[in-house]
Amino acid sequence: MANTYVKIASVTVTGATAATIEFTSIPATFDDLVLKLSARTNAATAYENLQLQFNSSGGTAYSDRILFSNAQNALSASNTAQASTFFQYAVSSTATASTFSSVDFYIPNYAGSTNKSLSVDSAAENNVANTAFLGLAAELWANTAAITSIKLTPNTGGSSFVTHSTAVLYGIKKS
């Protein structure tokens, strides 16, 4: 069974910073969604967690299980009853200049009437400190509504995505 990727929309931060990256009016005409993110923030740290919300839904509907490595240790974490999902990591202002993190999201059955799961694969490196973060996450949005919007936000209060951060949303049709 072949899968067909169709670009729904893309966002590139140009000329200034952006507090969020959002996709709105996502059509319900696909089977699955894939979101690819290349990001850097202006937080005053080398790395920063990012957040994702569906349909501007906060509350306590998100949970996750995260496995990650910081180039020295393998670690894991679980979060429940969250207002958004968290995923590791975006490089920030003190990391190696001009480097961007890479994050891939896979969201199956996004328009279905069951709770929504997603998987996240992320990588961020910092050659200045000889560190890198690699992360895998299984996440759940305990809501049966179709996903019609996605919002990405840096986790540190007041930080933003910097110029050239890019997100591309694809719909997948199974044939």
Each of the 175 residues of the chain gets a pLDDT tens digit; together they read: 457 899 999 999 998 899 999 999 999 999 999 999 999 999 888 778 888 999 998 888 999 888 878 767 888 888 888 877 766 678 788 888 888 999 999 999 999 999 999 999 988 877 766 677 788 899 999 999 999 999 999 987 789 999 999 999 999 987 6
- Helix, strand, coil percentages (3-state) for the chain, rounded to 5, are 0, 60, 40
Range of the domain at 74: 3-174
pTM: 0.91
Number of domains comprising the chain: 1
Read off the amino acid at residue 129. A
Q: What kind and span of H or E run contains 9? A: strand 3-12
CATH number of the CATH domain containing 39? 2.60.120
